Chains A and B, each alone.
Chain A
């Protein structure tokens, strides 16, 4: 390959698109490193503190698309205090100052300000796509700036963000000349929007393929929007409440029949069950159905709907569908690859909705299942063993038993054998979340069999340091390990410090790690940042090494300590 001119090599590299492959290519030799870096357009940074924007810009002058992730995953569950970090502002400022022609920015778990959004909107004339997932810190004013200033905006996708809603006019800020929208998702916004503006916007967006509305968009507006955009492929319904005998509802039924491109349906943020029948005509084309935010739909309603969805590949649903309902899914949705069952009332076992039975039915009926997120009230080893026999293609297996230390209710045993069976038979498993009563044994199995595992989430499990050691020693591909409330301590933490350089991050909270061990680790491994999050006032970072650390976040980095840490974070 070295006999070819650079342009030829670069052309070959055009066909290499995955981040992993491009990273590998850049390591082959200096020449390839150089060619690769100049031709690289898309960069993914899994931890925004692992590198600085300046170094990013220096290495990849042709950057067009940047993906950044900020806070650790457990921030989703309120385990990371407010203001911990993950600010996107320095990135946008640095990019704005440079000659980078940014076109796409995708952020997850970051803190975004209105000022950042405004700067973003004004600094990159070709900016096309903004995707914010689980972010916070901005208001609809920031969104308005994006709408107003990004002349060629194609995608504005706001997923599950905490946005302060100034009941705006942000939607009206899209200029009349903006006709380029392909994807608009504002389902997470809580406030009212100008419905007439929305209709006009949709009417002048012939390329619109994805539209996800918020709760403030009523059914009659939905009907008008669908009239304007029958070409939609992905629809998120806001409010879906009306009198089924009304004229508006009849119109809706008629127009839905025309929308035969819709493959993905979500939302129903407010829903009247009696209106669901209007959806049936498009169900047979659906590949993705997300009803996990729909309040008040009973098991019957869900089951009746699912019966029409023969081509479904991904289903996100609430546990009120029940085991029987999952049985209907199993017999209807033979193409199912991904299932997520969310708890409708996490604290009330009285309405126990799904158990191991539902999962077993799914595993028997859906041979293509490869991704699972399942919240249930109980699980048995026998069921997990059956699931492991039926399904050997799992890439993601996340099981959450709502009572976190619940044993197998039939045998009273821990669930070690069940999870052991899962990892043994699913050799491609990349992500695993455990729950239920678990001893060190399950970690022995994971270390032995989960050779492709990249991310592991553990809570209230294990007996001793051995558990954590089995995982660290056995899972060669491990990138993210997050642990809470487990009896793992210094011995496990310090056994193989080099391991952490092969991983993105390690989170340990409410475990048995001491301050002394953390200091030791931080001192020996300068390529790692070790953060201690200390929220209680009494400690004041006392120098007692025997102190148990409440929350520790460890990650590899090329740029040393971050400068924006809050007071309660101790960087060792």
Chain B
């Protein structure tokens, strides 16, 4: 709806992924990065600082913010990370549709797929399903290649975009938290990940 919402801009990227942007995307947390539309994005995550800036800064209001808000403004925290806000018990359960479809992009694929995260209970299940979904593609790739590639397969690192617009490695957070915050998935070629020291596979536990 509102075009000022930075999150919306990222969602309406035409055609999915901008590969140049991804090199910067995987920089250290907190560093400013460039969105695919070329605009500079605030390095800080959304949160009270943005609220303060948007609502009060422009009008030069002399508002004495409480200590806690000054702190929040200094070390901005994403809304999703403020514990206990909004004060809704079980908010994650209310109004939750029984399906959560997210796009899945695979580097090199001409088209994306969609999966419903709600039908899985663990990382293992999700990744197995993705393997099935994209094995066809990989195989087709082999068959269509004029040159015969090595048979040791192309390795992919599963990554996802979270609610803040950051690209994260799949597997770090508990499964349910991942389902709630995942907006889209990207299977990234490991060769791209090598230089960033991310060669070890994701450490997801087999339990939820």
Q: Which residue of B lies closest to A463 (CB)?
A: B64
Q: B55 touches which one: A160, A343, A407, A485 (CB < 8 A)?
A: A407
B113 proximity list for chain A (CB < 8 A): none
| A74 / chain B contacts, CB cutoff of 8 Å | 84
* Cβ contact within 8 Å between A351 and B1: yes
A406 touches B55 (CB 8 A): yes
Contact-size category for A: 35 or more
Of the residues B61, B67, B94, contact of A344 by C-beta under 8 Å: B94
Comparing A115-123, A396-404, A471-479, A524-532, the segment that makes contact with chain B is A396-404
B21 at interface, CB cutoff 8 A: no
For residue B5, CB closer than 8 A to chain A, the reply is: yes
On whether A296 and B97 interact (CB within 8 A), knowing A349-B5, A350-B1, A402-B86, the answer reads yes
Do the beta carbons of A484 and B67 come within 8 Å of each other?
no
Asked whether B95 lies within 8 Å of A342 as measured between CB atoms, the reply is: yes
What is the total number of residues of chain B having a CB less than 8 Å from a CB of chain A? Answer: 38
**How far apart are A358's CB and chain B's nearest CB, in angstroms?**
17
Q: Mark B125-158, 1 if CB is under 8 A from A, else 0.
A: 0000000000000000000000000000000000
Q: Does B200 contact A (CB under 8 A)?
A: no
Query: Does chain B have a CB within 8 A of A503?
Result: no
CB interface residues, A 381-410, toward B, < 8 Å: 400, 402-407
Q: Is A79 an interface residue (CB 8 A)?
A: yes
Contact with B along A456-479 (1 / 0, CB 8 A): 010111110000000000000000
Partner of A292, one of B5, B48, B83, B94: B94
Return the CB mask of B87-105 against A: 1 if under 8 Å, else 0: 1111101111110000000
Residues of B contacting A487 in the complex (Cβ-Cβ under 8 angstroms):
66-68
Chain B residues whose C-beta falls within 8 Å of the C-beta of A461 in the assembled complex: 66
At the interface, yes or no: B75 with Cβ under 8 Å from chain A? no
> Does any Cβ of B come within 8 Å of A76's Cβ?
yes
Within 8 A of A (CB), among B53-72: 55-56, 59, 61, 63-69, 72
Interface string of A318-330 (1 = CB under 8 A from B): 1010000000000
Docked pose: A440 CA to B66 CA in angstroms:
10
**Is B52 on the interface with A (CB-CB < 8 A)?**
yes
Q: B59 contacts which chain A residues (CB < 8 A)?
A: 412
Residues from chain B with a CB closer than 8 A to the CB of A104 are: none
Check if B2 is an interface residue, CB within 8 A of chain A: yes
- How far in angstroms is the closest Cβ of chain A from B93? 7
Beta-carbon contact of A347 and B93 below 8 Å: no
Chain A residues within 8 Å of B8, by CB: 350
| A259 interface residue per 8 A CB criterion | no
CA distance A294 to B98 in the complex (A): 10
Distance of A355 from chain B, by nearest CB (Å)? 13
- Closest Cβ neighbor of A292 among chain B residues: B94
Interface contact B67-A77, CB-CB below 8 Å: no
A540 to B63, CA, bound (A): 37
B68 close to A295 (CB less than 8 A): no
Known contacts A460-B66, A463-B66, A487-B67; A345/B87 CB under 8 A = no
Q: How far is the CB of A175 from chain B (nearest CB, A)?
A: 33
Q: Cβ of A485: which chain B residues have Cβ within 8 Å of it?
A: 66, 68-69, 72
B interface residues with partner A (beta carbon < 8 Å): 1-2, 5, 7-8, 48, 51-52, 55-56, 59, 61, 63-69, 72, 79-80, 83-91, 93-98, 163
- Return 28 A-B CB contacts under 8 Å, by A number: A134-B89, A292-B94, A294-B95, A295-B97, A318-B95, A343-B95, A344-B94, A347-B163, A349-B5, A350-B7, A350-B8, A352-B1, A375-B86, A400-B86, A400-B87, A403-B51, A405-B69, A406-B51, A406-B55, A414-B63, A437-B63, A460-B66, A484-B84, A485-B66, A486-B66, A486-B68, A487-B66, A511-B68
Further contacts, 5 of them, CB under 8 A, given A485-B69, A485-B72, A487-B66: A76-B87, A77-B83, A295-B97, A344-B95, A439-B64
